[in-house]
């Protein structure tokens, strides 16, 4: 009899709070109804075998060495992180499949890492805490692959609940479940702008550095410590106009996350939508991380009657969200396709989502 352990964990979409994570600020993601699924079963000796059904590829590893950025690193990196934390799982065969679009800003990477962590937790009976699971998944990305991402993606994938958004305080890593159940006459549309965020690496590092330099110049541990009331004074003390724009985005964006939570508490969807749109303008004008495909999607959404719309994710492409009256979805999709065609952009993809459940472990026996 073999016993297979399965981990299932979703992609996520961040409703609001962009580039606030590494400034010790706030983010507000929901889990998607699209998941990665990893099955762990006994391996041959100490060998680690990883198969991706999407890619049709298998790798076999006899050692785990950090540094190489390959697709299997998101899986092997979790094993490595667990070893670093004192849990040697030994040889194992890991098979993965996922319906989270790769590289679209919906965190197929965290879905994969978290599904792996959950599968291994069950497979090796590690009984990890939620925070240990999140850390193993995040360490895979930061430590094994060397990608300096923040704490949101893995915690969203693991901890989100159905019909809730997850407020994460990136300084304390404390979370609050915020009810997020759309009324029947509204939909949350996800637009795949078909522009993968390939050039984002250097831009991301530069913005992070600008924020750190500005915080140092202002004498605060992180930009989280500057309030909107203090913003004008803080900006007057910065001499670099680029830092001024970056700080203005981060400080106002943190405030928008908290305002968004108030709006949700009041079920004030127009106010919530307006905050999404303001976030987009701030990313476009101050953080300078949007591109023509995403700006066009937001414009068309608003012209089609959206209550609000914004790019989500690190920037330079990826996904746009739009909060739309349900009866405008069809017209929006048609208008967007026409606008993209007119500009010669690749045809966009439009789907809708709701706030779905976070990761789970599942035991399969045969
Ligand atoms: P995002 O997380 O926004 O989807 P990333 O660039 O962070 O984009 O992660 C995408 C990478 O994760 C892919 O390029 C691939 O290396 C890996 N990945 C995600 N899902 C799979 C999968 N099903 N099979 C193989 N690799 C995957
Ligand atoms: Mg990712």
Extract the tokens encoding 364: 């399969």
Ligand number nearest to the C-alpha of 192:
1
Residues 6+ apart with CB under 8 A from 293: 193, 194, 195, 317, 340, 345, 348
**Which residues, judged by CB distance below 6 Å to any ligand atom, belong to the binding site of ligand 1?**
52, 54-55, 71, 74, 96, 98, 102-109, 112
For ligand 1, the distance from its centroid to the CA atom of residue 111, given in whole angstroms, is: 9
Domain 5-179 has CATH 3.30.230.10: yes
Mean pLDDT of 227-241: 97
What pLDDT shows up at residue 198? 58
- What pLDDT is recorded for position 105? 82
Using one digit for the tens of pLDDT, what is the confidence trace for 32-75? 999 999 999 998 899 999 999 999 999 999 999 998 889 999 99
- Say how many Å lie between the CA of residue 74 and the centre of ligand 2: 10
Place of tokens 């609001």: 16
Q: Which residues contact 162 (CB under 8 A, 6 or more apart)?
A: 355, 356, 357
Of all protein residues, the one whose alpha carbon is nearest to atom 23 of ligand 1 is: 98
- CA 108 to centroid of ligand 1, rounded, Å: 5
Residue in 168, 170, 323, 191 with CA at minimum distance from that of residue 261: 168
Surrounding ion ligand 2 within 5 Å at CB are 107, 109
Residue 276 vs residues 14, 46, 97, 153, 322: alpha-carbon distances, Å: 11, 49, 32, 19, 8
pLDDT tens-digit readout, 295-334: 999 999 999 999 999 999 888 889 999 999 999 999 999 9
At residue 1, the pLDDT reads 37
Catalytic residue of the set 153, 192, 259, 286: 153
Predicted confidence at residue 103, as pLDDT, reads 79
Closest ligand 1 atom to 105 CA = 3
The protein residue whose alpha carbon is closest to atom 11 in ligand 1 is 109
- Total count of residues recorded for the chain: 366
Q: Does CATH place domain 186-353 in 2.60.34.10? A: no
Share of the chain above pLDDT 70, in %: 97
Pick the ligand that lies closest to the CA of residue 145: 1
How much distance in Å is there from the Cα of 13 to the middle of ligand 2? 11
| Contact by Cβ (8 Å): 48, 127 | no
Q: Quote the pLDDT of residue 197.
A: 61
* Residue 115 token pair: 């599904």
Separation of alpha carbons 151 and 171, rounded Å: 9
- Closest by Cα among 253, 248, 254, 306 to 278: 253
Domain regions of the chain by residue span:
5-179, 186-353
Ligand 1 atom index nearest CA of 73: 16
Q: Report whether pLDDT(366) > 60.
A: no
Q: Strand pairing partners for 4?
A: 364
Interstrand relation of 319-325 and 92-98 (parallel, antiparallel or unpaired): unpaired
Per-residue pLDDT reduced to its tens digit, 82-141: 999 999 898 999 999 999 988 788 999 999 999 999 999 999 999 999 999 999 999 999
- Ligand 1: nearest atom to the Cα of 110: 2
Ligand nearest to the CA of 112: 1
Residue 200 has pLDDT above 80, yes or no: no
Strand order of the β-sheet with 26-27 is: 26-27, 164-169, 175-179
Atom of ligand 1 nearest to the CA of 69: 16
**What contacts 206, CB < 8 A, 6 or more positions away?**
none
Cβ–Cβ under 8 Å, residues 70 and 147: no
State which of 34, 72, 109 you would mutate to test the pocket of ligand 1, scoring each by most atoms of that ligand within 8 A of its C-beta. Answer: 109
Q: Determine the average pLDDT of the residues in 268-273.
A: 98
- The reply to whether the predicted model has a pTM over 0.90 is yes
Q: What is the pLDDT of residue 313?
A: 87
Does the annotation mark 153 as catalytic?
yes
Q: Which residues of 343-354 are buried (b: 16+ CB within 10 A; e: fewer)?
A: eebeebbbbebe
Question: How many C-beta atoms lie closer than 10 Å to residue 47's C-beta?
Answer: 13
Closest ligand 1 atom to 36 CA: 23
Pocket test for ligand 1, best of 37, 69, 103, 105 (most atoms within 8 A of CB): 103
Supply the mean pLDDT for the chain.
95
């Amino acid at each position: 009899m073999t016993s297979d352990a399965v981990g299932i964990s979703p992609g996520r979409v961040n409703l609001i709070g962009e580039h606030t994570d590494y400034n010790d600020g706030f983010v507000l993601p929901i889990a998607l109804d699209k998941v990665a699924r990893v099955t762990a079963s006994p391996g041959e000796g100490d060998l680690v075998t990883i198969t991706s059904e999407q890619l049709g590829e298998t790798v076999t590893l006899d050692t785990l060495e950090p540094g190489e950025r390959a697709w299997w690193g998101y899986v092997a990196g979790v094993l490595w992180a667990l070893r670093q934390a004192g849990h040697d799982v030994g040889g194992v065969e890991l098979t993965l499949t996922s319906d989270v679009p790769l590289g679209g800003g919906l965190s197929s990477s965290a879905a994969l890492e978290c599904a792996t962590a959950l599968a291994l937790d069950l497979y090796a009976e590690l009984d990890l805490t939620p925070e240990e699971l999140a850390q193993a998944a995040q360490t895979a990305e930061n430590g094994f692959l060397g990608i300096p991402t923040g704490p949101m993606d893995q915690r969203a994938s693991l901890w989100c609940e159905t019909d809730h958004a997850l407020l994460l305080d990136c300084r304390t890593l404390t979370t609050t479940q915020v009810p997020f159940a759309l009324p029947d006459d509204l939909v949350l549309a996800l637009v795949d702008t078909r522009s993968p965020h390939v050039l984002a690496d250097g831009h991301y590092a530069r913005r992070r550095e600008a924020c750190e330099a500005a915080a140092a110049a202002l004498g605060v541990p992180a930009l989280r410590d500057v309030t909107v009331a203090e913003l004008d004074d803080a900006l007057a003390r910065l001499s670099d106009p680029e830092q001024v724009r970056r700080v203005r985005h981060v400080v106002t964006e943190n405030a928008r996350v908290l305002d968004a939570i108030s709006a949700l508490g009041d079920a004030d969807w127009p106010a919530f939508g307006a905050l999404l749109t303001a976030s987009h303008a701030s990313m476009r004008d101050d953080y300078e991380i949007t591109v023509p495909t995403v700006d066009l999607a937001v414009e068309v959404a608003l012209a089609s009657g959206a209550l609000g719309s914004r790019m989500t994710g690190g920037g330079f492409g990826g996904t746009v969200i739009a909060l739309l009256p349900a009866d405008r979805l069809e017209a929006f999709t048609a208008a967007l396709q026409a606008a993209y065609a007119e500009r010669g952009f690749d045809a966009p993809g439009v789907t809708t989502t709701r706030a779905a459940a976070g990761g789970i472990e599942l035991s399969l026996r045969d």
